[in-house]
Amino acid sequence: MTKLKVGNIAPDFEAKNYLGQTVTLKEFKEKSQPIVLYFYPKDNSPVCTKESCEFRDKYQKFIEAGAEVIGVSSDGEDSHKLFVSKYSLPFTLLTDKHSKLAKLYGVNGILLPGRKTFIIDKHGIIAGIHDGLLSSTSHIDESLKIIEKLKLQI
């Protein structure tokens, strides 16, 4: 499993979102757009729902700072569609059925898939990492602070 650190080049990825569309890191680098890539264990679980809704509630601040938010879990497209609809999530969720992305980014858990957030700058460099299986929201404000600092570095 990969052990990524701040300053590393983020591994390029390709995955399907809940609409069946392919999403890649490359497309965000081409747009010079930073992203917050958050891995979470399961749609509709209490902690993951709280985390996703916190991202939803602060999504406009991320957009205003020039960033996109992307969630990743091993749930399938149908589960993601229901989760997005039920909680009015304005950002995309990627399906990682075989944990390919999780392994690529070194996200692992003991009984459940891991919970980890990567802040990736417009050049594809990891600017921040937050790790915490049981902490659902504490990293969101910190992620926004990093994104806002990146905006100032234009």
Least Cα distance to 56 among 38, 74, 79, 73 occurs for 38
Structure tokens at 53: 């809704």
Helix residue ranges, H only, 31-110: 46-64, 77-87, 100-104
* Pick from 106, 101, 110: nearest CA to 3: 106
Q: Dihedral through CA 48, CA 51, CA 52, CA 53, nearest 10?
A: 120
Residue 36, CA distances (Å) to 78, 102, 111, 153 in order: 23, 15, 25, 17
**Catalytic residue positions?**
48
Q: Which of 132, 104, 113 is nearest to 10 (CA)?
A: 104
